[in-house]
Structures are given as structure tokens and as C-alpha cells.
Chain A
Amino acid sequence: MSIRGKAYIAGIYEFPGRKAADKSLAQLHGEFAKGALEDAGLTYADVDAYYCAGDAPGLGGLAMAEYMGLKLQHIDSTETGGSSYVAHIGHAAAAIAAGKCNVALVTLAGKPKSQRPGTPRGGIEHDAPEYGFEMICGPRVVNMYAMAAMRHMHEYGTTSEQLAWIKVAASHHAQHNEHALMRDVVTVDDVLSSPMISDPLHRLDCCVITDGGGALVIVSPEIAKTLDRQCVKVLGHGEAPKHLDGGRVDLTYTGAAWSGPKAFEEAGVTHSDIKYMSIYDSFTITVLETLEDLGFCEKGQGGKFVADGNLISGVGKIPFNTDGGGLCSNHPANRGGMTKVLEAVRQLRNEAHPKVQVDCDIALAHGTGGSIGTRMGSATVILGREDS
């Protein structure tokens, strides 16, 4: 069984702000849900399936179903970090194809910039089996990704200049996004002269930190037909966790090496069919390794592939993250998978900014959660225009 053509993205919403100090976490989820449902021409009452990840408050789906007054027949709180919302699309499409539901809502919200002091952290971190062995080493988000970059440079000769091109491309797109946190166009030299945070990653190799989030509505083909809004067809999905494999550590590739081929196979398309791609960009190295693993270039050739503006819309062969991505625009709740999907939907609906819009009938969105320095969730979706 395949999900190809069995589900459509009918509504999207992205919080335009980058700080949300005046709203509760549940309120943000609820408002983003309302925004995406209104975009589709639907209401809370139409929703019969709800998807959320670890950023949702309380018991996740249960707390939010009650808050929004949803009457559900399917619920999924798969937590794979920032990739969750990309994986949720595949799960929702499968549930719709199996007849379990018709209107699936996915939400993401968080406020890392303005969390009230003393807010308890979610999760049961101390019980994680790796915790005792890793916390003693001072792992931070950035030095974990930095270790992947260091090894990739060692094995393949990737350079800091090549990584910098990824930020440069994102900044070229962000200048056109009025909501982007960083709208200044930067150069390779700007990236290299920004402070070294954790070798070899500079400050400008890192993504922004923002409050906010967004939501998606995924519906059955029958519902899509009844809506006035242009819908986007789900063509294929793949997901895979990658971890340290009992000590057989290799940080030069990501789970995209497994999730990507599955998505391409299900969609029945090839790389040359992809006109736009949203690639998870927590750090520049995340993009570089993911592009190789998805097969847009040979393993180890990512540096050459991203250099010289190849990812800039209207300049290079294939544009990425035309909203400015997590690197410049928005990385709400430190989870970038949702916004990756949202910009892919805008491209397919011809609703991206005119300066970055491409003639796009097929697009790819990829999410990475957790850390490429330890264990990660990777999820890929391939989406098409309604008539594709």
C-alpha cells in the first residue's frame, strides 16, 4: 500500500512574530490550529485526528484535544524532535488512506525566548539510557553538530567557506521575508569572521532562536475536493531514526540516507523532478550532510554542491529554504520541521514571495530532530501541486 495521492495538505499557518511572551503554550497551539483550519476553510469541529510532539503541553494530544474541544478518532504524538511534524504528515496520510480519519491537524508551538522562569522542563531526561555517559562530557547542541562537521571536513575536505555558502543562500532569501528574524544579506566572509562558537562552527553557522510555531491540516481526497483552497498532494514519505549504533559511530551521514530513498520511491519521482526543497537547517552542516544523503550530490561532494550560490533562488540549480529557513527566519521552539513543510506548501501554491517563487510542481521537505552528533529522527516528504 502506498500513500501516494491519498491525502492533501489543505491549510497552513505560520506565526508571524518571533516572540510570544504574552501567550500561554496551549494558547499558541490553539491559535495556530485555528489559523491553519481557517486557511483550509475548516473549523475545530471538522477535525477528527490530531498530531503533536513533545512541545505540546501536558499529555500532549489529550490536553490539546480538550483545550480545543476536538472530538477525535485518531491521535498520534510521535516525538522525533524537530522532524516530528514532517513524520506526522506521513502518519496522517497513512491513517487517512486506511480510513481511520479524514481531517488531521498538526501543531507546533514553543517559546524558548520568553519562557517564564521556573517552567518545568518536559520529558524524563535522567532516565534516558545514554544520559549518565553523555552529560558528564558537556554536550551542548552546537558542539554535537560541530563534531559532525569536523569529521566531515576530515574525511571529505569540506571547508568552512563551503558551509558558509549555505548561510549566504538563506540570507539572500530572508531579505524578502518581512517576518524573518535576520534580514541582512551576509557574505562568506561575514560568516567566517563571526565568532567561533564550537570549532568549526561560527555564530553564523547556527540557526536563530525564536518563539512561535505553526500548524498544518491534512485531509482526504474527498474533503479536498469540497474545499475552495488550493490543496497540495502528498506524494511520498520516509522516516528513519539514526543513532550511535552501540558504539559504531559515523557522524558523516544522517538518517536522510534512509528516509530519502523511501520518499522518492513512494512518490515515483527522481531528483530532477524536484523544483524546490526545504532542508532542515539547524546548522549549516545539517544542510550539507542532508543534501548528500538525499542524493542531490555524491557523498562527500556537498561542499562543492552548496558553493557559489547554487542554493539561491534564481541563481543556482535548485533553491532551498526560500523563506530564509531556520538559519535566518524562524526556528520556533528549536524545532524546524514544521516551517520546512510550510514553505514547501507556499511554493507549490505559488504563494512564496515573488522574488523567490519558482515554477514548482514538485517539492521536497526534510526534517531532522535530535542531534546529528548522537541520535536523530529523519523524515522526508515529497509533495506535489494539486493536479500533479
Chain B
Amino acid sequence: MSEQKIKIRVPFINEETEHFWNATGEGKLLVKQCADCNEYHYYPRTICPFCMSDNTEWKESPGTGTVYTYSIMRRVPVPYCIAYVTLDEGITMMTNIIDVDLETIKIGMKVKVSFVDTGADCALPFFTAA
């Protein structure tokens, strides 16, 4: 769990995403994989956006990947790093890079998931240096 001072926003959860967020509360990052075309996708949906199959399955991700791109928001009380991280499964997700010196973040940097507790039975899937 993160120690860094960051703004914690409790996610908006709906019927389709409840399972994902419940898993974050247990420290698990779930992604969806299609059992028909084998493609992973993100954010998770019931129907595969690549082949329209409804045979999609939750898979636990090891939560490792690389920084695809990032930006450090400077003109706010607490600067933070928003990023897209490409998971080793090949899908890219919007996230934050936390618990690192913001000035050392680079595209291509290896990162791993680091959950930030929201106090609401779910956690934010952010990333830190691997």
C-alpha cells in the first residue's frame, strides 16, 4: 500500500465493474480476456470489443508492465504523475505512478502495480517502480 501523499478518489462503480473493484480490495488486478479470440482488453467489458463474443473471462494480472507515456501535473497543490502503463499482457491502462521521485519517471520504465486503499472496500490500481 502506498505511503505517498496523493489525492484519493473513490471510484464510481457500476454493475459491470463491481467484480473488478471488489478484487482490488483484496490486492488483485483483474483484466478481461476473451475465451474465443484470446485477446485481452481494458477497461473490462462484458462483451469482447474485438470479436463481440460474450465469452469473456476475468484473469488475475501479475500487474507488471512498462510506462507507455506519462505527464507530471505541476500547477496543483500536490503534483502527481498520470500515466498509461502497458501491462505485460499487452493492454494499456490509465493510472498514476506513485512512490517514486517524479523527476526519475521515464517512458519505458518497468513498473508493478501498487494498490492505494480508498477506505471504501476497494483500492486504486496505481503503479510504482518494479
**Residue of A whose beta carbon sits closest to that of B71:** A146
Residues facing B in A215-255 (CB within 8 A) are: 244-249, 251
Secondary structure call for the A interface: helix
With A138-B7, A247-B41, A247-B93 already in contact, the answer to whether A150 and B69 are too (CB < 8 A) is yes
Residues facing A in B1-31 (CB within 8 A) are: 7, 9-14, 16-17, 21
Asked if B58 lies at the interface with its beta carbon under 8 angstroms from chain A, I say no
In the assembled complex, the Cα of A137 lies from the Cα of B91 at a distance in Å of 17
In the assembled complex, the Cα of A196 lies from the Cα of B7 at a distance in Å of 21
In the assembled complex, the Cα of A297 lies from the Cα of B25 at a distance in Å of 49
The reply to whether B68 and A143 form a contact with Cβ atoms under 8 Å apart is no
How many residues from A make CB contacts under 8 Å with B? Answer: 37
In the assembled complex, the Cα of A336 lies from the Cα of B129 at a distance in Å of 39
With A147-B83, A247-B41 already in contact, the answer to whether A198 and B93 are too (CB < 8 A) is no
Picked from B14, B40, B73, the residue with its CB within 8 Å of the CB of A247 is B40
Chain A hits for B68, CB < 8 A = 151, 249
The reply to whether B72 and A198 form a contact with Cβ atoms under 8 Å apart is yes
The reply to whether B12 and A126 form a contact with Cβ atoms under 8 Å apart is yes
Question: B84-99 CB contact bits vs A (8 Å, 1 = yes)?
Answer: 1010001111111000
Residues facing B in A101-147 (CB within 8 A) are: 126-127, 129-140, 142-143, 146-147
Asked if A197 lies at the interface with its beta carbon under 8 angstroms from chain B, I say yes
**Residue of A whose beta carbon sits closest to that of B78:** A138
In the assembled complex, the Cα of A199 lies from the Cα of B73 at a distance in Å of 7
B residues adjacent to A (C-beta < 8 A): 7, 9-14, 16-17, 21, 39-43, 45, 49-50, 68-75, 80, 82-84, 86, 90-96, 107, 124
What are 12 pairs between A and B in contact, CB < 8 Å? A129-B45, A132-B17, A133-B17, A139-B82, A143-B82, A150-B69, A150-B71, A151-B68, A195-B74, A201-B71, A247-B41, A251-B69
